[in-house]
Amino acid sequence: MDKLAERLRHDAEQIDVTISTELDVRIRASLHGVKPESQTPTRSMSRSSTFWWASSLTGVAIAFALVVVLNLKSPESTPVASNAATIPLVLPTVKWNVRTAVLTSSLEQEFDDLAADLKKAEQVLKEDIDAVF
């Protein structure tokens, strides 16, 4: 990773950026042209009691109309089940080949072996990265 960081730093040092005078003038003009917003007090609008009454009565009327419409609607007829023979749903059976695991060593040894394998893989990965960069 050190080689990569060094190459990135070297590449960053090689970048030469200049700002044209036109862009500089536009940036300065936009910075000077900005004015802070004036603080205007916000006015809360309170609604009158007639609005409250009107909205409440409208809600009650709609709820009443909905109840009346649903109660006047004739009930839907339910279909009658036919006496035709039905084919039972048969699921395919799966023959499971299951064996219990037999541990040849303790779990601590297995964990240590796994950690060693991970370290080896990390070392190989680092070597590959160094070879590429």
pLDDT digits (tens, 9 = 90+) for 107-123: 788 888 889 999 999 99
**Continuous segment of H or E residues that includes residue 113:** helix 107-132
Q: Is residue 118 part of a domain?
A: yes
pTM for the structure as a whole: 0.26
Q: Is residue 28 part of a domain?
A: no
Q: Is residue 131 part of a domain?
A: yes
Give the residue numbers spanning the domain of 118: 101-133
Q: Is residue 68 part of a domain?
A: no
Residue range 8-36: mean pLDDT, rounded: 81
Residue range 81-95: mean pLDDT, rounded: 74
Q: Is residue 114 part of a domain?
A: yes
**What whole-number distance in Å separates Cα of residue 54 and Cα of residue 13?**
72
Neighbouring residues of 133: CB distance < 8 A, sequence distance ≥ 6: 3, 4, 7
Alpha helices in the chain (DSSP H): 2-14, 21-32, 49-72, 107-132
Q: What is the pLDDT of residues 24-81, one digit of tens each?
A: 888 888 878 776 666 666 666 667 778 888 888 999 999 999 888 888 877 677 666 6
Q: Is residue 122 part of a domain?
A: yes
Q: Is residue 91 part of a domain?
A: no
Q: Is residue 126 part of a domain?
A: yes
Overall number of domains in the chain? 1
Q: Is the pLDDT of residue 86 over 90?
A: no
Name the CA radius of gyration of the chain, rounded.
Answer: 39
Q: 133 and 4 in contact (C-beta within 8 Å)?
A: yes
Question: Which residue in the block uniquely carries the two structure tokens 């009346």?
Answer: 68
Instruction: Please tell me the predicted confidence (pLDDT) of residue 1.
Output: 63
